[in-house]
A and B are shown apart, each in its own frame.
Chain A
Amino acid sequence: QKEVEQDPGPLSVPEGAIVSLNCTYSNSAFQYFMWYRQYSRKGPELLMYTYSSGNKEDGRFTAQVDKSSKYISLFIRDSQPSDSATYLCAMSELSEDDKIIFGKGTRLHILP
């Protein structure tokens, strides 16, 4: 089983819809969970991060972590065409200098 699983999509939704992006993981030592957004030919940009189970909200974005199910989600409300990008989940064990393990990324298209 891969450490981090993420459906690569593509996922196409109409403008204004709520988007749900998900990842599962197998390593119970992961404690730090992140979502990155990557536009075409650009580097990953950190969107949100969280250390614990539960929800964290930032504007139109909500990150949700369920450690018991090893499942994380990113919700985007009132989606905009500018949200069209690849979204990568990522996680790490939080030890010093620890590496980040990325999901493969989900390509999202918001249709005007």
Chain B
Amino acid sequence: EPEVTQTPSHQVTQMGQEVILRCVPISNHLYFYWYRQILGQKVEFLVSFYNNEISEKSEIFDDQFSVERPDGSNFTLKIRSTKLEDSAMYFCASSETSDNEQFFGPGTRLTVL
């Protein structure tokens, strides 16, 4: 069964450093999303992406964040200068259409020291 994959599973970084989280969505999907879950808190929407541009973003997704689909398979989330409060699980999701059946990846745990 096709699935969303994410790498790395765990990323540790120093405050102020740049990180890139990688996702490979399901191959025939056209809509891509990033969510995050701070430990003990709810899953929060960050950004949606379609047709090579951002469709919607939350107030969490400030200028420190960017997304890119550099090729036909990868979807990346970049955090330019990490802060302690960026420590969270980051989930990538994809869907075939905009009918909201989003399939989630296993997540990348980001720890900012």
- Which A residues form the contact surface with B (CB < 8 A)? 32, 34, 36, 41-46, 49, 88, 90, 92, 94, 96-105
Contact = CB atoms under 8 A, between A and B. Distances in A.
B107 A43 contact: yes
B104 A104 contact: no
Contact of B106 (A34, A42, A46, A100): A42
B65 interface: no
A42 B89 CA distance: 10
Instruction: Tell me what chain B mostly uses at the interface: helix, strand, loop, or mixed.
Output: strand
A88 B100 contact: no
A43 B48 contact: no
B42 A97 contact: no
24 contacts: A34-B100, A36-B104, A42-B107, A43-B4, A43-B104, A43-B105, A44-B91, A44-B104, A46-B101, A46-B102, A49-B100, A88-B42, A96-B55, A98-B48, A98-B100, A99-B33, A99-B45, A100-B102, A102-B35, A102-B43, A104-B41, A104-B42, A105-B42, A105-B43
Contacts of B104: 36, 43-46
Given A43-B91, A44-B104, A97-B98, A102 B42 contact: yes
Given A102-B43, A103-B42, A104-B42, A94 B107 contact: no
Interface residues of B, number: 25
Interface string B37-80: 00001111100101000011010000000000000000000000
B43 A44 contact: yes
- B42, B104, B105, B106: which has the most chain A beta carbons within 10 Å? B42
A96 B91 CA distance: 20
B98 A102 contact: no
Contact of B48 (A41, A94, A99): A99
Contacts of B102: 46, 100
- B50, B55, B102, B103: which has the most chain A beta carbons within 10 Å? B102
